[in-house]
């Protein structure tokens, strides 16, 4: 069994770099790849004020949904603060981890309303910086119809805690994996010409390996002990790689 891939595009908002987003989405469309598109409903992150506010942003977002992209709620404001690691322990900062349940419910309720008021129904949850906790899941159950989480280090889509989890384990540049389901996370605002070319070459040479996320959701399996083992091993490898980079041993 060969590997299967999903693409996730993060940080869509009215102040994104529209040209880079159009370049990325246009390339994926040419190969019939349907990405997960993570939209920030009320961006307040100063690093994501890349361009002046685009008045046609929501119109474009509706066109992505009509084209078959999976729309995801990407937090609320995308403003991060120091926190514990949460359910997917990657960073020690987040928007949601540790907030009281009432505040998490308020943010998710408000974010969903913004998307719905603009003609979009979010299907998935994408936490900024992988930061969410059990209270976030409770808030999603209470305030939305979202039952898909794009996160985690499993090697397949799994059903756990009332949600389907689509794992997200790779960043750019993409690389070949032997088997399993692998989501490649791309931030189009930072996608320069070379990175776009490498992504295009990867997609163009293996278009049949890119799955439709809507289809993958329908064949999720129950979470198992083997999923837990794989996730733990992947986290350990990721942490070791981060420590190596911080120490300066990696000269590449």
From start to end of the chain, where are the E strands?
Answer: 3-12, 36-39, 70-73, 81-82, 93-94, 124-125, 148-150, 158-160, 163-166, 180-186, 221-222
Q: Check pLDDT > 60 for residue 246.
A: no
Strand 124-125, strand 93-94: pairing? unpaired
Predicted pLDDT at 138: 98
CA 142 from centroid of its chain's CA atoms: 21
- For residues 240 and 252, give the distance between their C-alpha atoms in angstroms, rounded to a whole number: 16
For 53-110, what is each residue's pLDDT tens digit?
Answer: 999 999 999 999 999 999 999 999 999 999 998 999 888 899 999 999 999 999 999 9
Pull the structure tokens for residue 240: 């070791």
Q: How many Å apart are CA 230 and CA 233, to the nearest integer?
A: 5
Say what the pLDDT of residue 136 is: 98
> What percent of the chain has a predicted confidence (pLDDT) above 70?
95
Looking at residue 37, what is its pLDDT?
A: 98
Percent of the chain clearing pLDDT 90 (strictly above): 87
pLDDT interval class at 183 (50, 70, 90): very high
pLDDT at site 251: 30
Q: How far apart are CA 58 and CA 198, in angstroms?
A: 29
Average pLDDT, the chain: 93
The closest alpha carbon to 169, from 71, 93, 88, belongs to: 88
**Contact at 8 Å (CB) between 125 and 148?**
yes
CATH number given to 3-226: 3.20.20.370
| pTM across the whole model | 0.93
Domain map (residue ranges) of the chain: 3-226
pLDDT band for position 247 (50/70/90)? very low
Judged against a pLDDT cut of 50, whether residue 167 lies above it is answered with yes
């Amino acid at each position: 069994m060969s590997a299967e891939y999903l693409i996730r595009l993060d940080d869509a908002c009215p102040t994104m770099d529209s040209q880079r987003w159009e370049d990325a989405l246009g390339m994926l469309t040419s190969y019939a790849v349907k990405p997960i598109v993570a939209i920030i409903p009320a961006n307040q992150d100063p690093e994501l004020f890349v361009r002046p506010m685009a008045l046609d942003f929501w119109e474009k977002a509706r066109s992505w949904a009509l084209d078959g992209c999976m729309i995801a709620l990407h937090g609320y404001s995308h403003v991060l603060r120091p926190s514990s690691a949460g359910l997917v322990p990657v960073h020690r900062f987040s928007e949601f981890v540790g907030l009281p349940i009432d505040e998490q419910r308020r943010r998710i309720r408000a974010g969903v309303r913004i998307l719905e008021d603009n003609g979009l129904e979010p299907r998935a949850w994408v936490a900024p910086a992988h930061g969410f906790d059990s209270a976030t899941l409770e808030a999603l159950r209470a305030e939305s119809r979202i039952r898909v989480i794009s996160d985690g280090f499993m090697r397949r889509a799994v059903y756990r805690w009332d949600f389907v989890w689509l794992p997200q384990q790779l960043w750019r540049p993409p690389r070949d994996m032997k088997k399993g389901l692998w989501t490649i996370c791309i931030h189009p605002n930072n996608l320069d010409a070379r990175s776009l070319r490498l992504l295009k070459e990867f997609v163009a040479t293996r278009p049949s390996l890119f799955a439709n996320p809507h289809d993958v959701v329908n064949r999720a399996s129950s979470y198992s002990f083997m999923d837990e083992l794989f996730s733990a091993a992947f986290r350990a490898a990721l942490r070791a790689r981060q420590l190596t980079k911080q120490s300066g041993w990696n000269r590449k």
